[in-house]
Each structure stands twice: as structure tokens, then as C-alpha cells.
Amino acid sequence: MERDELISSWLDRTARFYDRPLQALLLGAAPRSAKPIELSEVDLGTAKGALRPVAALLGISIEHLAAHTIAAAYSWGLHLVARGTFVPDGHRSPRLRYAACPHCLERQRADRGISWLTRAWILAPRTVCSIHHVPLVEGHVGSISHPIWSDFLRRHRHSNRAVCAIAQAPSAPVTSWAGPPFADNEAAGLHRQMATIQDGILAGAAQETRRRGTVGEGRARVTYDLVWAFTRADRHYPDRLVYEAFASDLLDSPWHVAQRRRPGPVDFPTLSLHERHVLLATATVLTGPQSLRRQFCQSTGPWQADLATLHRRLKDDDRAELAGRQRKWNKVPESTI
């Protein structure tokens, strides 16, 4: 297993090495098991029965494998894991949303000759790489490749096999978001701040394992609480989230916002990576210095005006909840006071 690697990523590499479908290999390790093993549950550590065949396939003990599950290694972040909401049969599912930093994948390939998915990338508040300050891309295990290869595969569909052999890239290209229509240097500044805030949110969550909803310190906490407020139902427009009132044309297009329209509230970790990214970006801009606000904000007024608007948009119980959270904003950034 590589550093911080997801178990499903390790399994995926193993199957690729043997050039056989993963489920066939798992069936070989557990001939009596009738139903396919859900890899999300193996990663999370919620499928106890699946640990034995997976451990057998990987040639390690069950205890060793269990120590690598999210439940064991990221127990503080279980409620922050990015996940889907429903599977086709209608039951609530813990199915994970997988993501990766394209630059890290290339770096891994350059250093180690292979690429793998890390556990840190599946936490919902993580939408920007903490090393490269670029947005992560979402995909399935075995479907994430560098955007360069994805573009190539889209244009040359019949050359999948050859490209995969050369690049060791998976055959299914990932659909990545083209990115916002602003200058690279502006994006870089925003993404750098987002990476710092996301580091703060996750570091705070690791420290406060028992106090849900109070994640991070200073600007990280304020940003996280704003994102929570964004995911509530709008008092004036019940079919919309409060976020719509704050969505910046530069960060999110009105067309995309309308496409995603739904009644609130929604659970942040169940949103797609792109949705989480624009919510976090908007909150980062609102809590940011004037220079950042001038670049992306529709209203160039003071931060207090945004906060007052937010309160007006929330329903009574949500407003009370936000007020409670605000009392814990002990270190609000100077530029926003």
C-alpha cells in the first residue's frame, strides 16, 4: 500500500497488474460469497464481511487491513466523508465520492511509477489540493486520470488500449470541470486561500472529534459555518438553497446554478465535488480580504451586509443555529470586521 492509499485504489492496482476484473479476483478469494463486494464499504470499513476476502487477496492480515479503513485511520472525519445519497434500489448508501489531484497523480507516477488515490481526497471539505492549490477532479476508482490523458482519450476513442499501455492510464476518462472564467493568477490566489482554509477545517475536525458542527478555528470555522448556511432552504424561495443568493457569476454560472436547483436543506458531504467547491469558494471570497472580495463579489459592500442578508434569507430555526455558531467565531479575520 502506498502512502495514505485507499484500499479500493490498492485493489484496483492489483487487478490491473493481473489484468483481470477486480470482482473476479475477489470472488476467487471468497468463492462462497454470492454478492459483489461494495468497494466504498471496504474503504469505509463498514463491510466487516468483505475484509476477509480483501485481506486474503492482498496477502495481509484482517487486522492490518482494518487499520487502513477510513473508520480506523480517519475516525474523526467519518461524518465529513464525501458520499452519494442513493443507489438505484432506493436505499441510503454510504457510497463514496472519489476525487484526485491531477498534479499529485503525475507526481506519484514520476516518483514511484504508479498513481494511486489517497484517503485525504475523499473528505468533503477538501476540494483544492493542499500541495498544488488546484481543484480536485471527481471520478470513480479506476477512472481518474490526468486531464491531458482524458482529453486525448476523448479525441482518440479507439486508441484506449495503446494509451493505457503507455501511460498506465485507466480507460474511462473523467469528466472534469473546465474551470471558472477568470484569470489564472486570480484563480491561483483564491485556490491558495481555499487550500489554507480547508487545511484549517480538517485540522479543526481532527481536534474536535466529539463536537460536530464546530469545525476549525478563525476563518476556517467562519467559512465552514457559512457553507452550512448556504445549504439551507431559502426563506423567500423554498425551491432554492440560500447559496443562490450569494452565487457569484465569476465563480458559478447562473445556468449551472439553475440546473442544480432543489429545495433545501441539503447535507454538504452528499454534494458533488464541483458543488462543494463553488460553495467553499464563495464562502472564502465573502470572508476574504477586500482585494479578494473586489475580484469576485457582486456586492462590494462590507462583510456585515452579507451576513445580514444571510440572516434574512434563513428560516427561523436555521437563523438561530447560525447565531449559535457565530458566538464561537472567536477569531474572525481582521479584514472582515
Q: Is 132 in the site for Zn ion (CB under 5 A)?
A: yes
Residue 80 or 129 with smaller CB distance to Zn ion: 129
* Smallest separation, CB 129 to Zn ion (Å): 3
Radius of gyration of the chain (CA): 21
Identify residue 130 by its one-letter amino acid code: S
* Smallest separation, CB 87 to Zn ion (Å): 30
Q: Sketch the per residue contact string, 44 through 83, with Zn ion: x for CB under 5 A, - otherwise.
A: ----------------------------------------
Give one word for 267, left, alpha or beta, with left for phi > 0 and alpha for psi -120 to 50. beta
* Smallest separation, CB 104 to Zn ion (Å): 3
Find the binder of Zn ion among 6, 44, 101, 144 (CB under 5 A).
Answer: 101
Q: Per CB under 5 A, which region of 66-74, 88-96, 131-139, 272-280 contacts Zn ion?
A: 131-139
Residue 67 or 131 with smaller CB distance to Zn ion: 131
* Smallest separation, CB 183 to Zn ion (Å): 21
Identify residue 279 by its one-letter amino acid code: L
* Smallest separation, CB 296 to Zn ion (Å): 23
* Smallest separation, CB 107 to Zn ion (Å): 7
Residue 129 or 266 with smaller CB distance to Zn ion: 129
Alpha helices in the chain, H assignment, sequence order: 7-18, 22-29, 39-44, 48-58, 62-66, 70-73, 102-112, 147-155, 160-167, 184-207, 218-230, 254-259, 273-286, 290-296, 303-313, 316-326
Find the binder of Zn ion among 131, 258, 305, 320 (CB under 5 A).
Answer: 131
Backbone phi and psi for residue 138, each to the nearest 5 degrees, phi listed first = -95, 145
* Smallest separation, CB 268 to Zn ion (Å): 22
* Smallest separation, CB 118 to Zn ion (Å): 10
* Smallest separation, CB 131 to Zn ion (Å): 5
Number of residues that bind Zn ion (CB under 5 A): 6
Q: Is 109 in the site for Zn ion (CB under 5 A)?
A: no
Find the binder of Zn ion among 82, 129, 226, 280 (CB under 5 A).
Answer: 129
Q: Is 144 in the site for Zn ion (CB under 5 A)?
A: no
CB 220 within 8 A of CB 323: no
Backbone phi and psi for residue 330, each to the nearest 5 degrees, phi listed first = -75, -20
Residue with cell string 480506523 = 72
CB 278 within 8 A of CB 251: yes
Q: Per CB under 5 A, which region of 3-11, 124-132, 208-216, 220-228 contacts Zn ion?
A: 124-132
Residue 196 or 253 with smaller CB distance to Zn ion: 196
Residue 101 or 215 with smaller CB distance to Zn ion: 101
Alpha carbons 136 and 98: distance in angstroms, whole number: 10
Residue 149 or 246 with smaller CB distance to Zn ion: 149
Which long-range contacts does 171-177 make (Cβ < 8 Å, 24+ apart)? 172/140, 172/142, 172/143, 173/143, 173/145, 173/149, 174/137, 174/138, 174/139, 174/143, 174/144, 174/145, 174/147, 174/150, 175/139, 176/102, 176/137, 176/147, 176/150, 177/135, 177/137, 177/274, 177/277
Q: Is 104 in the site for Zn ion (CB under 5 A)?
A: yes
Find the binder of Zn ion among 16, 52, 95, 103 (CB under 5 A).
Answer: 103
Q: Which three cell numbers stand for residue 102?
A: 491531477
> Which candidate, 59, 75, 57, 72, places its Cα nearest to that of 12?
57
Residue 121 or 296 with smaller CB distance to Zn ion: 121
Q: Which three cell numbers stand for residue 234?
A: 431559502
Residue with cell string 452528499 = 270
* Contacts to Zn ion by CB under 5 A: 101, 103-104, 129, 131-132
